[in-house]
Structure 1
Amino acid sequence: MHCTSTSTPAGALGDELVRVVKLLHVARQRMPRQHPLVDPMAYPLLFHLAREPRRVSELADLVHADTSTVSRQVSTLVDHGFVRREPDPDDRRAQVLAVTDDGSTLLAAIREGRQAWLDTLLSDWTDDEVRSFTQQLSRLAGELETSLTTTTRTDP
Protein backbone atom coordinates (compact mmCIF):
# COMPACT_ATOMS: atom_id res chain seq x y z
CA MET A 1 0.00 0.00 0.00
CA HIS A 2 1.17 3.52 -0.75
CA CYS A 3 2.14 5.51 2.35
CA THR A 4 1.16 9.10 2.83
CA SER A 5 2.43 11.70 5.21
CA THR A 6 -1.04 13.15 5.67
CA SER A 7 -2.78 12.24 8.92
CA THR A 8 -6.40 13.03 8.04
CA PRO A 9 -8.62 10.76 5.92
CA ALA A 10 -9.31 13.59 3.46
CA GLY A 11 -5.59 14.37 3.27
CA ALA A 12 -4.73 10.73 2.57
CA LEU A 13 -7.49 10.65 -0.06
CA GLY A 14 -6.02 13.76 -1.67
CA ASP A 15 -2.60 12.13 -1.89
CA GLU A 16 -4.05 8.97 -3.42
CA LEU A 17 -6.16 10.95 -5.90
CA VAL A 18 -3.07 12.80 -7.13
CA ARG A 19 -1.30 9.46 -7.52
CA VAL A 20 -4.23 7.88 -9.40
CA VAL A 21 -4.71 10.86 -11.70
CA LYS A 22 -1.02 10.82 -12.63
CA LEU A 23 -1.08 7.06 -13.23
CA LEU A 24 -4.24 7.30 -15.34
CA HIS A 25 -2.57 10.01 -17.42
CA VAL A 26 0.42 7.74 -18.06
CA ALA A 27 -1.86 4.78 -18.80
CA ARG A 28 -3.86 6.86 -21.29
CA GLN A 29 -0.67 7.87 -23.09
CA ARG A 30 0.48 4.26 -23.33
CA MET A 31 -2.81 2.77 -24.49
CA PRO A 32 -3.26 2.19 -28.19
CA ARG A 33 -5.70 4.49 -29.92
CA GLN A 34 -8.91 2.90 -31.12
CA HIS A 35 -8.57 4.98 -34.28
CA PRO A 36 -5.16 6.33 -35.30
CA LEU A 37 -6.49 9.76 -36.27
CA VAL A 38 -8.82 10.41 -33.33
CA ASP A 39 -7.40 11.93 -30.16
CA PRO A 40 -8.61 9.98 -27.10
CA MET A 41 -9.46 13.35 -25.53
CA ALA A 42 -12.41 13.45 -27.99
CA TYR A 43 -13.83 10.12 -26.81
CA PRO A 44 -16.02 11.70 -24.09
CA LEU A 45 -17.74 13.74 -26.81
CA LEU A 46 -18.79 10.54 -28.55
CA PHE A 47 -20.15 9.11 -25.31
CA HIS A 48 -22.31 12.19 -24.73
CA LEU A 49 -23.51 12.30 -28.33
CA ALA A 50 -24.43 8.61 -28.20
CA ARG A 51 -27.01 9.50 -25.54
CA GLU A 52 -28.59 12.24 -27.64
CA PRO A 53 -27.72 14.80 -30.33
CA ARG A 54 -26.37 18.06 -28.88
CA ARG A 55 -25.03 21.45 -29.86
CA VAL A 56 -21.32 22.15 -29.54
CA SER A 57 -21.94 24.55 -26.65
CA GLU A 58 -23.84 21.85 -24.73
CA LEU A 59 -21.01 19.39 -25.29
CA ALA A 60 -18.49 21.92 -24.02
CA ASP A 61 -20.53 22.37 -20.84
CA LEU A 62 -20.84 18.61 -20.34
CA VAL A 63 -17.11 17.99 -20.64
CA HIS A 64 -16.14 21.21 -18.84
CA ALA A 65 -14.08 22.45 -21.77
CA ASP A 66 -13.83 25.58 -23.87
CA THR A 67 -16.26 25.70 -26.83
CA SER A 68 -13.44 26.36 -29.29
CA THR A 69 -11.56 23.25 -28.11
CA VAL A 70 -14.68 21.09 -28.41
CA SER A 71 -15.43 22.58 -31.81
CA ARG A 72 -11.99 21.53 -33.10
CA GLN A 73 -12.43 18.02 -31.69
CA VAL A 74 -15.90 17.77 -33.24
CA SER A 75 -14.54 18.87 -36.62
CA THR A 76 -12.09 15.96 -36.55
CA LEU A 77 -14.86 13.53 -35.61
CA VAL A 78 -17.03 14.88 -38.45
CA ASP A 79 -14.15 14.72 -40.94
CA HIS A 80 -13.61 11.04 -40.12
CA GLY A 81 -17.30 10.18 -40.31
CA PHE A 82 -17.90 9.45 -36.61
CA VAL A 83 -20.22 12.42 -36.07
CA ARG A 84 -22.62 14.21 -38.39
CA ARG A 85 -24.14 17.67 -38.24
CA GLU A 86 -27.92 17.94 -38.60
CA PRO A 87 -30.50 20.68 -38.18
CA ASP A 88 -31.59 21.32 -34.61
CA PRO A 89 -35.25 20.23 -34.39
CA ASP A 90 -35.94 23.11 -31.97
CA ASP A 91 -34.20 25.78 -34.05
CA ARG A 92 -33.70 24.92 -37.72
CA ARG A 93 -31.09 27.71 -38.02
CA ALA A 94 -28.81 25.88 -35.59
CA GLN A 95 -27.10 22.51 -35.82
CA VAL A 96 -26.81 19.57 -33.48
CA LEU A 97 -24.26 16.81 -33.62
CA ALA A 98 -25.14 13.13 -33.71
CA VAL A 99 -23.09 9.92 -33.69
CA THR A 100 -22.98 8.02 -36.99
CA ASP A 101 -22.95 4.23 -37.35
CA ASP A 102 -19.15 4.39 -37.66
CA GLY A 103 -19.08 6.47 -34.46
CA SER A 104 -21.16 3.83 -32.68
CA THR A 105 -18.73 1.17 -33.87
CA LEU A 106 -15.80 3.22 -32.55
CA LEU A 107 -17.59 3.65 -29.21
CA ALA A 108 -18.12 -0.11 -28.96
CA ALA A 109 -14.39 -0.65 -29.59
CA ILE A 110 -13.48 1.95 -26.95
CA ARG A 111 -15.76 0.28 -24.39
CA GLU A 112 -14.43 -3.17 -25.27
CA GLY A 113 -10.81 -2.04 -24.89
CA ARG A 114 -11.56 -0.31 -21.60
CA GLN A 115 -13.41 -3.35 -20.29
CA ALA A 116 -10.52 -5.68 -21.18
CA TRP A 117 -8.07 -3.33 -19.44
CA LEU A 118 -10.23 -3.09 -16.30
CA ASP A 119 -10.80 -6.86 -16.25
CA THR A 120 -7.03 -7.33 -16.15
CA LEU A 121 -6.44 -4.52 -13.67
CA LEU A 122 -9.12 -5.73 -11.25
CA SER A 123 -8.65 -9.45 -11.76
CA ASP A 124 -8.16 -10.13 -8.05
CA TRP A 125 -11.06 -7.92 -6.90
CA THR A 126 -14.38 -9.49 -5.98
CA ASP A 127 -17.55 -8.34 -7.70
CA ASP A 128 -18.66 -6.80 -4.39
CA GLU A 129 -15.41 -4.84 -4.14
CA VAL A 130 -15.83 -3.55 -7.68
CA ARG A 131 -19.48 -2.60 -7.03
CA SER A 132 -18.59 -0.82 -3.77
CA PHE A 133 -15.72 1.08 -5.39
CA THR A 134 -17.95 2.01 -8.34
CA GLN A 135 -20.59 3.42 -5.99
CA GLN A 136 -18.04 5.49 -4.08
CA LEU A 137 -16.37 6.69 -7.27
CA SER A 138 -19.75 7.64 -8.73
CA ARG A 139 -20.55 9.58 -5.58
CA LEU A 140 -17.21 11.40 -5.74
CA ALA A 141 -17.71 12.18 -9.44
CA GLY A 142 -21.17 13.58 -8.71
CA GLU A 143 -19.82 15.81 -5.95
CA LEU A 144 -16.99 16.96 -8.19
CA GLU A 145 -19.37 17.74 -11.06
CA THR A 146 -21.64 19.68 -8.73
CA SER A 147 -18.64 21.59 -7.44
CA LEU A 148 -17.49 22.44 -10.96
CA THR A 149 -20.91 23.69 -12.03
CA THR A 150 -21.69 25.71 -8.91
CA THR A 151 -18.38 27.47 -8.26
CA THR A 152 -16.61 30.06 -10.31
CA ARG A 153 -13.25 29.69 -8.58
CA THR A 154 -11.59 26.53 -7.34
CA ASP A 155 -8.59 26.14 -5.13
CA PRO A 156 -6.12 23.29 -5.75
Structure 2
Amino acid sequence: MSSDVRELVRRMHDFLRSVRLVKQRRADEQPRVPLGAVGILAQIDRLAAGCHARELAMRAQLDPSTVSRAIATLVSHGLVERRPDPSDKRAHVLALTPDGRTALADTYDWYAGVLARALAGWTPDEVAAFNAALHRFTRDIEVALGNNDNLEAAR
Protein backbone atom coordinates (compact mmCIF):
# COMPACT_ATOMS: atom_id res chain seq x y z
CA MET A 1 0.00 0.00 0.00
CA SER A 2 1.43 3.37 -0.98
CA SER A 3 2.09 6.09 1.56
CA ASP A 4 -0.57 8.26 -0.16
CA VAL A 5 -3.20 5.58 0.39
CA ARG A 6 -2.10 5.13 4.01
CA GLU A 7 -2.43 8.88 4.52
CA LEU A 8 -5.88 8.77 2.95
CA VAL A 9 -6.89 6.06 5.44
CA ARG A 10 -5.85 8.41 8.27
CA ARG A 11 -7.76 11.32 6.69
CA MET A 12 -10.84 9.09 6.35
CA HIS A 13 -10.66 8.26 10.05
CA ASP A 14 -10.46 11.98 10.80
CA PHE A 15 -13.37 12.67 8.44
CA LEU A 16 -15.55 9.95 9.99
CA ARG A 17 -14.77 11.29 13.47
CA SER A 18 -15.84 14.74 12.27
CA VAL A 19 -19.07 13.31 10.85
CA ARG A 20 -19.82 11.61 14.18
CA LEU A 21 -19.18 14.87 16.04
CA VAL A 22 -21.45 16.81 13.69
CA LYS A 23 -24.21 14.20 13.99
CA GLN A 24 -24.01 14.23 17.78
CA ARG A 25 -24.05 18.03 17.94
CA ARG A 26 -27.03 18.08 15.57
CA ALA A 27 -28.87 15.63 17.80
CA ASP A 28 -28.17 17.88 20.80
CA GLU A 29 -29.16 21.12 19.06
CA GLN A 30 -31.89 19.82 16.73
CA PRO A 31 -33.40 16.88 18.64
CA ARG A 32 -36.68 16.70 16.67
CA VAL A 33 -35.10 14.10 14.36
CA PRO A 34 -33.58 11.30 16.46
CA LEU A 35 -29.89 10.49 16.08
CA GLY A 36 -29.33 8.16 13.15
CA ALA A 37 -32.73 8.79 11.58
CA VAL A 38 -32.02 11.71 9.24
CA GLY A 39 -31.01 9.44 6.35
CA ILE A 40 -34.19 7.34 6.62
CA LEU A 41 -36.33 10.46 6.85
CA ALA A 42 -34.60 11.88 3.76
CA GLN A 43 -35.10 8.63 1.82
CA ILE A 44 -38.82 8.64 2.59
CA ASP A 45 -39.01 12.28 1.51
CA ARG A 46 -37.35 11.48 -1.84
CA LEU A 47 -40.09 8.96 -2.58
CA ALA A 48 -42.92 11.47 -2.79
CA ALA A 49 -45.61 8.83 -3.38
CA GLY A 50 -44.56 6.97 -0.24
CA CYS A 51 -42.73 3.69 0.00
CA HIS A 52 -42.79 0.33 1.71
CA ALA A 53 -40.31 -0.47 4.46
CA ARG A 54 -38.72 -3.22 2.35
CA GLU A 55 -38.08 -0.78 -0.51
CA LEU A 56 -36.66 1.73 1.94
CA ALA A 57 -34.25 -0.87 3.35
CA MET A 58 -33.05 -1.74 -0.15
CA ARG A 59 -32.57 1.91 -1.16
CA ALA A 60 -30.77 2.78 2.08
CA GLN A 61 -28.72 -0.44 1.92
CA LEU A 62 -29.65 -1.23 5.51
CA ASP A 63 -30.91 -4.35 7.20
CA PRO A 64 -34.74 -4.43 7.27
CA SER A 65 -34.76 -4.75 11.07
CA THR A 66 -32.70 -1.55 11.37
CA VAL A 67 -35.11 0.27 9.08
CA SER A 68 -38.09 -1.10 10.98
CA ARG A 69 -36.74 0.25 14.28
CA ALA A 70 -35.98 3.63 12.71
CA ILE A 71 -39.47 3.82 11.23
CA ALA A 72 -41.04 2.98 14.58
CA THR A 73 -39.02 5.78 16.18
CA LEU A 74 -39.96 8.27 13.46
CA VAL A 75 -43.65 7.31 13.75
CA SER A 76 -43.54 7.70 17.54
CA HIS A 77 -42.03 11.19 17.09
CA GLY A 78 -44.82 12.12 14.67
CA LEU A 79 -42.43 12.60 11.75
CA VAL A 80 -43.61 9.69 9.59
CA GLU A 81 -46.99 8.08 9.16
CA ARG A 82 -48.11 4.74 7.86
CA ARG A 83 -50.85 5.01 5.26
CA PRO A 84 -52.86 2.11 3.85
CA ASP A 85 -51.46 0.97 0.51
CA PRO A 86 -54.21 1.48 -2.05
CA SER A 87 -52.96 -1.49 -4.11
CA ASP A 88 -52.58 -3.92 -1.18
CA LYS A 89 -54.94 -3.55 1.78
CA ARG A 90 -52.60 -5.63 3.98
CA ALA A 91 -49.65 -3.28 3.47
CA HIS A 92 -48.78 0.28 4.42
CA VAL A 93 -46.78 2.97 2.69
CA LEU A 94 -44.62 5.41 4.60
CA ALA A 95 -44.90 9.16 4.20
CA LEU A 96 -43.55 12.21 5.98
CA THR A 97 -45.99 14.13 8.11
CA PRO A 98 -46.05 17.93 7.83
CA ASP A 99 -44.01 18.02 11.06
CA GLY A 100 -41.58 15.54 9.48
CA ARG A 101 -41.09 17.80 6.46
CA THR A 102 -40.47 20.80 8.71
CA ALA A 103 -38.06 18.84 10.92
CA LEU A 104 -36.13 17.59 7.89
CA ALA A 105 -35.91 21.10 6.41
CA ASP A 106 -34.72 22.48 9.76
CA THR A 107 -32.14 19.70 9.98
CA TYR A 108 -30.81 20.44 6.50
CA ASP A 109 -30.65 24.14 7.38
CA TRP A 110 -28.68 23.28 10.53
CA TYR A 111 -26.20 21.15 8.54
CA ALA A 112 -25.90 23.90 5.91
CA GLY A 113 -25.03 26.39 8.65
CA VAL A 114 -22.29 24.15 10.03
CA LEU A 115 -20.84 23.58 6.57
CA ALA A 116 -21.00 27.30 5.76
CA ARG A 117 -19.00 28.07 8.92
CA ALA A 118 -16.51 25.26 8.22
CA LEU A 119 -15.98 26.35 4.62
CA ALA A 120 -15.97 30.10 5.27
CA GLY A 121 -12.27 30.38 4.41
CA TRP A 122 -12.56 28.32 1.22
CA THR A 123 -12.87 29.79 -2.25
CA PRO A 124 -15.88 28.82 -4.38
CA ASP A 125 -13.53 26.83 -6.62
CA GLU A 126 -12.19 24.88 -3.62
CA VAL A 127 -15.72 24.08 -2.45
CA ALA A 128 -16.71 22.96 -5.96
CA ALA A 129 -13.59 20.81 -6.31
CA PHE A 130 -14.19 19.19 -2.90
CA ASN A 131 -17.83 18.56 -3.75
CA ALA A 132 -16.90 16.93 -7.06
CA ALA A 133 -14.11 14.84 -5.52
CA LEU A 134 -16.31 13.69 -2.63
CA HIS A 135 -19.09 12.72 -5.04
CA ARG A 136 -16.65 10.73 -7.18
CA PHE A 137 -15.07 9.13 -4.12
CA THR A 138 -18.37 7.94 -2.62
CA ARG A 139 -19.50 6.58 -5.98
CA ASP A 140 -16.19 4.78 -6.49
CA ILE A 141 -16.29 3.28 -2.99
CA GLU A 142 -19.66 1.71 -3.81
CA VAL A 143 -18.23 0.32 -7.04
CA ALA A 144 -15.16 -1.02 -5.21
CA LEU A 145 -17.46 -2.78 -2.73
CA GLY A 146 -19.45 -4.34 -5.54
CA ASN A 147 -22.36 -1.92 -4.98
CA ASN A 148 -24.33 -4.70 -3.34
CA ASP A 149 -22.61 -5.06 0.00
CA ASN A 150 -24.56 -4.17 3.11
CA LEU A 151 -23.02 -0.80 3.99
CA GLU A 152 -24.67 -0.56 7.40
CA ALA A 153 -21.40 -1.08 9.25
CA ALA A 154 -20.00 2.03 7.58
CA ARG A 155 -22.94 4.23 8.62
**TM-score normalised according to structure 1 size:** 0.82
**Deviation string for 1:45-75 (max 9, x for gaps)?**
1111111122112222233322112111111
Please state whether the residue corresponding to 1:150 is helix, strand or coil.
coil
Using the aligned pairs only, state the percent identity.
35
CA distance in 2, matches of 1:148, 1:33: 37
CA distance in 2, matches of 1:90, 1:10: 50
Please state whether the residue corresponding to 2:147 is helix, strand or coil.
helix
CA distance in 2, matches of 1:59, 1:130: 31
Displacement of 1:85 in angstroms is 0.8
Displacement of 1:19 in angstroms is 1.5
Contact kept? 1:33, 1:40, Cα under 8 Å: no
- The size of the alignment, in residue pairs, is 148
* Aligned partner letter, 2:141: L
Structure 1 spans left out of the alignment, 5+ residues: 1-5
CA RMSD of superposed structures (Å):
2.4
Structure 1 pair 92/142, CA: closer, same or farther in 2 (3 Å)?
Answer: farther
Aligned to 1:141: 138
Structure 1 pair 139/118, CA: closer, same or farther in 2 (3 Å)?
Answer: same
CA distance in 2, matches of 1:89, 1:145: 35
Contact kept? 1:84, 1:98, Cα under 8 Å: yes
Structure 2 spans left out of the alignment, 5+ residues: none
